[in-house]
Amino acid sequence: MGQVKTRWYKDAVVYQIYPRSFCDSNGDGIGDLRGIISKLDYLKELGVTAVWLSPIYKSPNDDNGYDISDYRDIMDEFGTLEDFKELVKGLHDRGIKLVMDLVANHTSDEHEWFKQSRSSKDNPYRDYYIWRKGKGKNGKKPPNNWTSRFTGSAWEYDETTGEYYLHLFSKKQPDLNWDNPKVRKEIIDICNYWFEMGVDGFRCDVITFISKEPGLPDGKWNPVVVGDEHFVIGPRYHEYIHEVCTESWNKYDSMTVGEGQGITIHNAEEIVGEEREELDTIFTFEHQDADFYMHAIPRKFSLKKWKSVFSSWQKLPQNCWPTLFYENHDQPRAIPRYGKMEYRNEVAKMLAISIYFQKGTPYLYQGQEIGMTNFKLDPKDYKDIISTRVYNSAKKFFGPLGAAIAKWGLNKRARDLGRTPMQWTAGEYAGFSTVEPWMTINPNYKMINVEDSKKDENSVFNFYKKLIKFRLGNKIIIEGSYKDLMEKSSKIFAYERALGDERYVVISNYTDKVVKYKVPEEYKGKESKLIMSNYSSSSDTLKDGKLLPYEAVVYYVKG
């Protein structure tokens, strides 16, 4: 307790593990903690310095663990608290920190708090959640027009007490009432419980939703969600986050990263400014608008928009620290989102270069380091609650055409695409399990897997290994200034990182065509050398030239 925060995350590479799909140790088709323990040497070899675990708490799994029934215990399918303690020790022995997922906007409806809360209006836990009388003569109309992020009304009528409870997600995920100080104290105690067990930080799920507008007024219609403005960064959000930070997070050498719906470059500093003592960092979703309308509907990728978003976050004041990511459990794989499959190896390396030389904490999602890809899932294989609801609703209301359109969209955007089992070997079930896994395995596992990747010196895995080693401790990357280059190009993403008289010039071709480029005048005549590339034919020095399909180069320039 009482440690000074070292802000270790500023020189870290975080590896996200989706436990259900990482490694199955006991042959039930489901990944687990002992499966993760068996791969700790792999993580050490890769070179990552922290691991973020998606939820492992007790849960009925309505939303794959993001519906928690006991914050102080482990899901039966994943193992025990003893397994968890062994995992923490194994990570720390290898110099790897552990970040857990904190899901504090809502619980499962099977959590004891909610069981008590719904039992009667005068139960001591009633005010742990948000209950309201219905509208209309018989009180059977929802209290307002808010909608769930998982489709449908955000209100569920409960017969026991004749009132509605709020759920911004599934009806099995009732929202906690953060206006109740007892709820905030519970969350603080939960954080401290895990810190004392050795955890090094938290990824805070939908944390910007915790403060709702008093009176819960109707929202104005918008294409994404009704009532959005009434529960995103609500009126007491900062007060509540500051309270948790000062009573828990800041008492440990920790880091926090929030899932930042509603966060843009314009309000980032008030969310993650270090002097505010709130969140340390945030996941922003602005860059998703470059290839998805409203983060959801597929559209043609716009590199100009992509560059603009990343560059804006790079130019934040020094008291703000960005996060860098392409993939996570809520996103499809980057390939073939940003590049053609026939150039899979080059695309994976180009994307890595384009982001790993920026300022911020990079997050590497399991399988990304071997270039795992998307593939077309059959609707019967959808496991995610959003995928199944979207598909079934489209089919119900619009028939075969609606089902076909939904399937097309989901094959580009479904969260399931990033949750297929990790591809360890070319053997049966991709080495993930000894039995058929809980979810479909990508059929290309015989060509794309860890075992083969480690043997190939030109593999995506060995490239990431080299890149991570180069990045860690590199002051130009951690502390250097950032400058856009070739801003008007719709094909090339180029930027400079500079510290003193040393700089890196990073140039990435985001197309499958050969692209010409001219070096800015300021670099001509200066000493330069190639330090990283995804092609063996790249020029040894920085000069006017051509980039091959998806080629990425990094030059060191002196002076």
Residuewise pLDDT in 10s, the chain (559 residues): 456 789 999 999 999 999 999 999 999 999 999 999 999 999 999 999 999 999 999 999 999 999 999 999 999 999 999 999 999 999 999 999 999 999 999 999 999 999 999 999 999 999 999 999 999 888 889 999 998 988 889 999 999 999 999 999 999 999 999 999 999 999 999 999 999 999 999 999 999 999 999 999 988 765 444 445 578 899 999 999 999 999 999 999 999 999 988 888 889 999 999 999 999 999 987 766 655 544 556 778 889 988 999 999 999 998 999 999 999 998 999 998 899 999 999 999 999 999 999 999 999 999 999 999 999 999 999 998 889 988 998 999 899 999 999 899 898 889 999 999 999 999 999 999 999 999 999 999 999 999 999 999 999 999 999 999 999 999 999 999 999 999 999 999 999 999 999 999 999 999 999 999 999 999 988 999 999 999 999 999 999 999 999 999 999 999 8
**Given phi > 0 = left and psi -120 to 50 = alpha, else beta, which region is 61?**
left
Residue 477's DSSP bridge partners are none
| Fold classified for 481-558 | Immunoglobulin-like (2.60.40)
508 vs 48: CA distance, rounded Å: 24
Q: Confirm whether 11 is a catalytic residue.
A: no
> Does residue 226 contact residue 257 with C-beta atoms inside 8 Å?
no
User: Domain residue spans in the chain?
Assistant: 8-107+181-377+423-469, 112-166, 378-413, 481-558
465 vs 369: CA distance, rounded Å: 8
Looking at residue 480, its amino acid is G
Residue 545's DSSP bridge partners are 517
118 vs 124: CA distance, rounded Å: 11
Q: Confirm whether 457 is a catalytic residue.
A: no
The sign of the dihedral angle between the CA atoms of 556, 557, 558, 559 is negative
E strand or H helix at 532: strand 527-533
* DSSP letter assigned to residue 133: P
HSE-CB of 501 using CA atoms within 13 angstroms: 4
Strand 163-166 with 131-132, pairing: antiparallel
Q: In degrees to the nearest 10, what's the CA dihedral of 358, 364, 368, 373?
A: -90
pLDDT at 296: 56
E strand or H helix at 499: strand 492-499
322 vs 310: CA distance, rounded Å: 9
Taking Cα atoms as reference points, which of 208, 252, 250, 204 lies closest to residue 229?
A: 208
Q: What is the CATH number of domain 112-166?
A: 3.90.400.10
Taking Cα atoms as reference points, which of 554, 356, 346 lies closest to residue 465?
A: 356
101 vs 280: CA distance, rounded Å: 15
Taking Cα atoms as reference points, which of 272, 269, 270, 266 lies closest to residue 286?
A: 266
β-sheet with 97-102: strand ranges across: 281-283, 255-259, 201-204, 97-102, 50-53, 14-17, 361-365, 323-324
Tell me the CA distances in angstroms from 161 to 117, 371, 403, one per residue in order: 10, 52, 38
202 vs 191: CA distance, rounded Å: 8
- Among residues 259, 278, 280, 291, the one annotated as catalytic is 259
Alpha helical stretches, state H, 414-518: 450-455, 460-471, 475-479
Token pair listed for 470: 């180069």
Strand 545-547 with 502-509, pairing: unpaired
Q: Rg of the chain over CA atoms, in angstroms?
A: 24
Token pair listed for 179: 């206006």
* DSSP letter assigned to residue 127: G
139 vs 148: CA distance, rounded Å: 20
**Three-state SS for 336?**
coil
- Among residues 63, 67, 205, 291, the one annotated as catalytic is 205
**CATH architecture, range 8-107+181-377+423-469:** Alpha-Beta Barrel (3.20)
Say if residue 177 is exposed, middle or buried (CB neighbours under 10 Å; 0-12, 13-18, 19+). Answer: buried
In this prediction the pTM is 0.95
50 vs 92: CA distance, rounded Å: 9
pLDDT at 137: 86
Kindly give, in sequence order, each residue whose CB lies less than 8 Å from that of residue 301, ignoring residues fewer than 6 positions away: 290, 291, 337, 338, 510
The sign of the dihedral angle between the CA atoms of 366, 261, 235, 136 is negative
Question: What secondary structure does DSSP assign to 205-271, as a single string?
Answer: TTGGGS-PPTT-PPPPP-SS-TTGGGTSS-TTHHHHHHHHHHHTGGGTT-EEEEE-TT--TTTHHHH
> Does residue 523 contact residue 505 with C-beta atoms inside 8 Å?
yes
> Does residue 86 contact residue 35 with C-beta atoms inside 8 Å?
no
Do the domains at 8-107+181-377+423-469 and 112-166 have one common CATH topology?
Answer: no
E strand or H helix at 15: strand 14-17
**Three-state SS for 134?**
coil
Strand 361-365 with 14-17, pairing: parallel
Looking at residue 305, its amino acid is K
pLDDT at 293: 47
Say if residue 18 is exposed, middle or buried (CB neighbours under 10 Å; 0-12, 13-18, 19+). Answer: buried
Taking Cα atoms as reference points, which of 234, 235, 230, 209 lies closest to residue 218?
A: 230
Tell me the CA distances in angstroms from 312 to 183, 268, 315, 427, one per residue in order: 36, 11, 5, 45
Secondary structure of 396-428 as H, E, C letters: HHHHHHHHHHHHHHHHHHCHHHHCCCCCCCCCH
